[in-house]
Amino acid sequence: MIASVEIAGVSKVTPRRIVTNSDMEKLVDTSDEWITKRTGIRTRRVVDKETTVDMAAEAVKQALKKAGVKRKDVGLIIGSTITSEYVTPSMADYVKKVLGIDAVAMDLSAGCSGFIYALNTAASLMDTLDIGCAVVVASEAISKYTDWTDRRTCVLFGDGAGAVVLRRSDTACLHYPVMEGTADKDDVLYALREKRPTPFSKVSDVKPEYIHMKGADVFTYAVGVVESVLKKLLQMCGDRPYNKIIPHQANEKIIDYVIRKMDMRHEQCFINIGEYANTSSATIPIAMYDAYEKGWLKKGDRIALVGFGAGLSCGGVVIDWTI
Ligand code: ACO
């Protein structure tokens, strides 16, 4: 059990530009059929003028509006990103500046598990620091770190942001935080920062750096941990099991596999990868927003969130939905 908090508002912000699988066919040797069959992805949003930090600020603004929470009441902002334009300050600090919020702010980098890690961290910090209201925002422009000549990775990702507002409540609505990690001994998923020469260290190979992924290995890791986290959460729920799940959206095949293993019905799982592809840590809040706005997520639902990603990392949490 963590602090007695509820989700008071949720938002999403996605770039205007829609890139279809047919658009991808013009960039690399791929096909709409291959991408759709192997991943479930049909389109993705890609930034043009939008930035990671601006999408984050807009997402927080909209989530606060939805929640009816005033900026002065926010005591904590945690940003989740691996693609901020700023080395320092944090994306969360930038959001603070843009929206004029005086609060504790920091970022967390945990790949695609970032939103879950940030949500669980925010809820426990609200307890520790006695904070009444917090915001968790995940924003990613993965397209900036994607090798658009590598068909094995470039078709998989998209850009976007999502945020949730957490508010103290009389009853606890966030339960059973799970955060786990496994050493990535074989470097199955990473992206390096670009090297920079200084007067004291020469760099012979200055080149752009991109996401590297051993897809099959990540797939194997993902299906294993998603199933194990969901089973753990189910066990912890006892006689009040969750009735719906919102998983990280990396490949629809991973999701299908887990639904089968968990003996769940397809309708119990929210899937929007077809529209947005994998937006890294932003996928879960974007999915939460769509699930809520489309009426799939209803007041009284008990949902399990589950994410996995670079690190290797994975995590989950159970939420009683109250809005
Ligand atoms: N278009 C056409 N052909 C392709 C493409 C493409 N876009 N990509 C790969 N291929 C080819 C390969 O070259 C290979 O050809 P070959 O047999 O001639 O060598 C063939 O398709 C099969 O390749 P596989 O890698 O075996 O394809 P697979 O069915 O395993 O799918 C995929 C690859 C989609 C990457 C899958 O492994 C996957 O989804 N892995 C998990 C990815 C993931 O979860 N990432 C999230 C990481 S965490 C985060 O979110 C950042």
The 10s digit of each residue's pLDDT in 41-93 is: 999 999 999 999 999 999 999 999 999 999 999 999 999 999 999 999 999 99
Give CATH for domain 176-320. Answer: 3.40.47.10
Query: Distance from the CA of 152 to the center of ligand 1, in angstroms?
Result: 5
Using the atom order of ligand 1, give the atom closest to the CA of residue 222.
44
Query: What is the CB < 6 Å shell around ligand 1?
Result: 30, 34-35, 38-39, 111-112, 151-152, 155, 189, 215-216, 218-219, 222, 250-251, 254, 278, 280, 309-310
Give the percent of the chain with pLDDT over 90.
94
Query: Distance from the CA of 192 to the center of ligand 1, in angstroms?
Result: 21
Judge whether 248 counts as a catalytic residue: yes
Query: Distance from the CA of 31 to the center of ligand 1, in angstroms?
Result: 13
Give nearest CA residue, ligand 1 atom 42: 215
- What Rg, from alpha-carbon coordinates, does the chain have? 19
Query: Distance from the CA of 34 to the center of ligand 1, in angstroms?
Result: 10
Give nearest CA residue, ligand 1 atom 14: 152
Give the percent of the chain with pLDDT over 70.
99
pLDDT at 3 over 90: no
Residues of the chain with CATH 3.40.47.10: 5-172, 176-320
Token pair for 294 = 């489309």
Give nearest CA residue, ligand 1 atom 45: 250
pLDDT in tens, 264-281: 999 999 999 999 999 999
Distances (CA, A) of 134 to 72, 75, 131, 167, 191: 11, 6, 7, 7, 30
pLDDT in tens, 19-55: 999 999 999 999 999 999 999 999 999 999 999 999 9
pLDDT at position 62, please? 98
Judge whether 112 counts as a catalytic residue: yes
pLDDT at position 318, please? 98
CA atoms within 13 A on the CB side of 276: 29
Using the atom order of ligand 1, give the atom closest to the CA of residue 189.
47
Ligand 1 site-directed mutation target among 219, 220, 227, most atoms within 8 Å of CB = 219
Give CATH for domain 5-172. Answer: 3.40.47.10
pLDDT at position 203, please? 86
Which residue in the list 21, 251, 272, 278 is annotated as catalytic?
Answer: 278
